[in-house]
Amino acid sequence: MKKPNIALIGFMGTGKSIIGARLAEILKKKFIEMDDLIVQLAGKSIPNIFAEDGEIRFREYEIQMCKEVSKRKDVVIACGGGVVLNKINIDYLKQSSIVICLKTSPEVILQRISKDGKERRPLLNKPDPMAEIRKLLAFREAFYNAATEYQIDSSNLTVNEVVERIREIFKRESI
Ligand code: S3P
């Protein structure tokens, strides 16, 4: 079946939002940031969900939103980095999306999240964020690899080059 959507997964700071927004513009699709949908649903920020309700509650919101976006058409979705932790999320996403995983080095991740302000990302708001990045990446690597055959390492690519690769995959898959 032809899939109308693209879902970008991958660790925090791998460029899902910037690449997703650019891709949506080019493909004339709507761009969705899954974390924004969760903030709307919960009526509070991501750090507040983690602090007041806990990570498990956040993961429940995530499952709910993956189910919800699986019913949409012609969207590019930037998923939160932990979406791979519950396999049901990937199953929902794959119902209507080509799932693509972005990868990059821990050094680039640290640079990007430092620029964004680490308060935004409760899991990395720790005294030694680099150690957290390495620990989480090691734990999650198998989940990212299992989620999709489409893995793009963006460490040495520009945003436009990554967008081009995704467009090729999407074109091939939607024939
Ligand atoms: C998370 C990634 C974040 C956000 C939350 C948890 C994760 O999204 O969903 O802080 O577990 O990797 P981004 O990947 O967009 O930063």
Q: How far is the CA of 142 from the centre of ligand 1 (A)?
A: 17
Class of the domain covering 5-167:
alpha beta
SS (H, E, C) the chain: CCCCEEEEEECCCCCHHHHHHHHHHHHCCEEEEHHHHHHHHHCCCHHHHHHHHCHHHHHHHHHHHHHHHCCCCCEEEECCCCHHHCHHHHHHHHHHEEEEEEECCHHHHHHHHHHHCHHHCHHHCCCCHHHHHHHHHHHHHHHHHHHCCCEEECCCCCHHHHHHHHHHHHHHHCC
Q: How much of the chain, in percent, has pLDDT values that exceed 90?
A: 89
Nearest ligand 1 atom to the CA of 85 is: 11
Reported confidence tier of residue 120, pLDDT bands at 50, 70, 90: confident
pLDDT in tens, 78-117: 999 999 999 999 999 999 999 999 999 999 999 998 887 6
Nearest ligand 1 atom to the CA of 14 is: 14
| Domain edges within the chain | 5-167
pLDDT in tens, 40-57: 999 999 999 999 999 999
Whole-structure pTM value: 0.96
Instruction: Determine the pLDDT at residue 118.
Output: 62
